Amino acid sequence: MKILVCISHVPDTTSKINFTDGDSKFDTNGVNFVINPNDEFGLTRAMWFKEKQGASVDVVNVGEKETEPTLRKALAIGADNAIRVDTPAKDGFQVAQQLAKVAKDGDYDLIIAGRESIDYNGGMVPGMLAALLDANFINTCISLEIDGDTAKAVREIDGGKESLTASLPLVIGGQKGLVEESDLKIPNMRGIMQARKKPLNVVEPEEVATQTEAVKFEKPAPKGEVKLVDPENLDELIDLLHNEAKAI
């Protein structure tokens, strides 16, 4: 089984975010980038298929040279090969089209993407990718088993879970639950050394017109001041909730 894991290069959630050029561009100075968490759950599940079923695992990213450390981390975790499509990720449709070309060229059985990236939270790429490949698609996937050409999956739905069966080739949008956080792999020294020798192939992008443009970014409003009330003074608390907060 050939598996392709789509990797997004995203800011660590602890990074301080700023914008430049009149708040129209993201300022990358001083920002630490990581593998998108939803993609990392998918990569860890792919490694399980490699260890238990002998699958081969490739990782792919749409981005410029600065994304290569993230791909190298994926190689250190255990992926066999890495592919970087040499173009900035501008919008979901453009990214999906670049990924579709790589997927078609590689003739993959299973393509694992995160259900969304934690930077733009668009949630568009996995579904678009499946449509472009004319492949089966399961989103918000929290469990996946493969037996031959058949996949058994569980996905989250409003108010519950849904069990599904699908044939390969298959695209999934994975998330937490596909593996547990305790199962995530931390690269060890041996993996890091081996990653330096594994292939990282840079491919030319398809000519694709972007469909959207970021005009301006705006930070969330700062949190308001907190007023502390002595726990013994319930009358004051009730008065504040009633007359100031208008909560009661």
Residue that the structure tokens 């600065």 belong to: 66
Count the domains in the chain.
1
Residue 33, pLDDT score: 93
Q: Does 176 have pLDDT greater than 90?
A: yes
**What number of helices (H) and strands (E) belong to the chain?**
6, 13
Residue 41, pLDDT score: 97
Whether residue 18 contacts residue 79, with contact meaning beta carbons closer than 8 Å, is answered with no
Residue that the structure tokens 């292939």 belong to: 199
Task: Record the pTM.
Answer: 0.87
In a domain, 181, yes or no: yes
Least confident segment among 112-116, 210-214, 234-238: 210-214
In a domain, 145, yes or no: yes
Residue 46, pLDDT score: 97
In a domain, 227, yes or no: no
In a domain, 231, yes or no: no
In a domain, 15, yes or no: yes
In a domain, 246, yes or no: no
Whether residue 77 contacts residue 70, with contact meaning beta carbons closer than 8 Å, is answered with no
Question: Which residue type is seen at 46?
Answer: A
Strand, coil or helix: 134? coil
Least confident segment among 83-92, 122-131, 185-194: 185-194
Continuous H helices in the chain:
37-53, 68-77, 92-106, 125-133, 189-195, 234-239
In a domain, 225, yes or no: no
**CA-wise closest residue to 171 among 192, 191, 195, 153:** 153
In a domain, 228, yes or no: no
**109's tokens:** 């059985």
CA distance 28 to 20: 10
CATH code for the domain in which residue 110 is found = 3.40.50.620
Residue that the structure tokens 């009358």 belong to: 235
Q: Which domain holds residue 194?
A: 2-217
Q: What is the pLDDT of residues 94-139, one digit of tens each?
A: 999 999 999 999 999 999 999 999 988 889 999 999 999 999 999 9
Give the Cβ contact number of residue 100 at 10 Å: 21
